[in-house]
Structure formats: C-alpha cells, structure tokens
Amino acid sequence: MKFTRRDRRDLRLFLWLSLGASVISACFGYAVSTAGNTPRPPLSGAFHGVLTSLMIATPIILFELRSRRPGFLRRLRRLPLVAYFSLKVLFYSVVIIGSLLVMRPSIDVVFRSSLVFSIAMAVFVNLVIEMGGLLGYGTLKGLLTGRYVQPKREQRVFLLIDMKDSTGLAERLGPIRFHELLNEFFRDVSDAAFETRAEIHKYVGDEAILTWIAAKALADGDCLTCPFIARDVIAANGERYRRRFGVVPAFRASLHCGEIVAGEIGDVRREIAYVGDTLNVAARLLDAAKARSRDILVSADLLKLMALPSDLRAEPLPTLTVRGRNAPLEIFSLERASSPPP
C-alpha cells in the first residue's frame, strides 16, 4: 500500500501527540506515586503513568485522525451533532475508565485524580486536532509561535483551483448535495496539497487557495505538479462521485508567484492573511483560463524561476493585460507532456 504524505503527516502528529501525552502523564504519575491505597516508588509511578497514557491516548488519537479519512469513522461525522457527540463521549468513557481500571483496580483518590487528568488530556488532544483541522496546522503553528505577529514580507507561490460549472451543479443537485460534492472535491484537493507539501490557505466558495513558501516550491517543481495530482485523485475517485452525485467534478487552476506581506489579522476571529498584488494576479490568471478555455495557466514569472518537470509541457499564450502592471503578463498553458494539444 502506498504511504502518502498525508499518511506521514498523520503519523508525525500521532507520534508527537503520543509523546507529549506520555511525558505529561509520566510527570503526573511521578507526582501521585506515593498517594492512594497502593503507593509505589516515584520512578515506578512515572512508568505507570506512561503505560496508562499509551492505553488511553493511542485509541483516542487514532479515532480522531481516522475520522477525518474516508471510511466508516468519517461517515459517523455525518450524524446529527448530538448523536455523534454522544458516541464520542461513550467511546472516550469506555477507553478512559476501562484503561484506568486495568492499570489501577482500586477506586481511590489517585484513581479519581487520574480520571480528571485523563479527561483533561483527552480534551486537550481534541482541541489540538480540531484547531489544526479548522485553521490548518501550518496556520496554527504560526499563530502559536507568533511568527506573524509583526507583518513580514515573503516570496510565495499561489495555486488557485476553481470547480468548473459550479452554478449549474448547484442548480441540478440542490444546495445540500452540492455542499457534499464540494466537500468531497476539497478533500481530494487536500490530498494533492499533502502530496506536494502545500498549505491550504482558505476555501472561498467553490475555490481553494493553496500556497508554498517560494524557496520550497521552486526546489522540486511540486507546485506545478499539484493540479495534475489533484486531477488524478479526482479521477481515481470517479466511481464514488458518479455513484453519489452523477458527475465527476473538473476544475480550472492558475499558478503565480511573487512577494506578499503575511501577518495576523482580525480581533474576534484571527487568521494569517496574505496581502499583495500576487494573489490578485493569480485571480486574473484564473479568469483568463475560463475566457481562453484552458484548464491550467501559469505565469512566466513562475516558470522563469524553476525547471519545468519532464512530464509537463508549457504552451505560450498571448500576453495578459493586468491592471496595475506596467507590462503585459506572459502566460503559459500547462499540460502533461503526453496530452495532445487542445
């Protein structure tokens, strides 16, 4: 079975969360080792805390990570919130109480303290995973470390992916089923983002905005292959789309690079915003892709900075006039080398 970058990301997250929970649990076990009906040496208490953490944290972290991947657990998330929450509480209760009873059969002051501690740790793990899923782990890391408290200039590559005929699909499927289609579409785009180490900046309607720090993106050409990987993932899931929605979605995309200013923005709701002409130019490229009946457009500004992957070809197109730029923008249509010219 192929081990994808998403799999590796989930494995890293699992290991770091498990390690963090084990260290904190070891400290807790060390602190309460001499209390309760069966006191033990402090080092033994710390080891006992690690074992208890592994018994509790492992199934909980796996449950949370797998519930975001295709399969039975993710289908549970479609249940009404009360039903899904009740199932999670039941699962957590069985894991926590069952593990504590195995490790410490006597219900004493240490057992009760361990129960409260385990619940707090489970809430913390959930908070990290939910916040990471909501904001993106790159954004969450940036907010926690304060990297963008002060705005800073960065060279970035942006990829905009826009679903074709979204208005027609919404009218045909209705708002609920179209939302489900859009969700599945964005999940497949996310797989391509993971495979090419892109950050998912945000979703805007039927459009996904992906970004890379330029130095990383230009080194191996991942940013140019990303839309083709997304196309492959969608095609591989074509039967699932046809069965659920009667259609396999397609998209247009645009790629551009340049300087932006990145910084935290907002008060009640904070996020990392990218400000600058680079995103505006990428949006104009996306409009041009539709107007010129092309699927993937890339600016010459980006192509000049990197070697074109051997399996891709770039066809020059008439220049694009962009408001605010002194010179017209050179653009190219990007295709697989084996694809026939349009």
CB-neighbour burial class of residue 244 (10 A; exposed 0-12, middle 13-18, buried 19+)? middle
What distance separates the 2 farthest-apart alpha carbons in the chain?
82
Q: What pLDDT shows up at residue 1? A: 47
Q: Which domains does the chain carry?
A: 5-135 (no CATH), 140-336 (3.30.70.1230)
pTM of the predicted structure, to 2 decimals: 0.68
Q: Which residues contact 5 (CB under 8 A, 6 or more apart)?
A: 194, 195, 196, 197
* Both tokens assigned to 35: 């209390």
Picking from 240, 238, 165, the residue whose alpha carbon sits closest to that of residue 206 is 165
**CB neighbourhood size of 65 (10 A):** 17
132 confidence band (pLDDT: 50, 70, 90): low
Whole-angstrom distance, CA of residue 226 vs CA of residue 232: 10
Whole-angstrom distance, CA of residue 177 vs CA of residue 180: 5
* Both tokens assigned to 307: 């070697």
How far does the chain reach from its first CA to its final CA, in angstroms? 35
For 143-163, the pLDDT digits (tens) are 666 676 778 888 899 999 999
Q: Which residues contact 320 (CB under 8 A, 6 or more apart)?
A: 284, 285, 288, 328, 329, 331
8 Å CB contact between 234 and 185 = yes
What dihedral angle (degrees, nearest 10) is formed by the CA atoms of 222, 227, 232, 237? 120
Which of 138-152, 242-256, 328-342 shows the highest mean pLDDT? 242-256
| Sign of the CA dihedral running 27, 30, 35, 38 | positive
The SS3 of residue 190 is helix
Which of 12-26, 171-185, 322-336 shows the highest mean pLDDT? 171-185
User: What are the helix and strand counts (H, E) for the chain?
Assistant: 13, 8
**Tokens 């919404």 belong to residue:** 170
Whole-angstrom distance, CA of residue 26 vs CA of residue 121: 13
Q: For residue 255, is pLDDT > 90?
A: yes
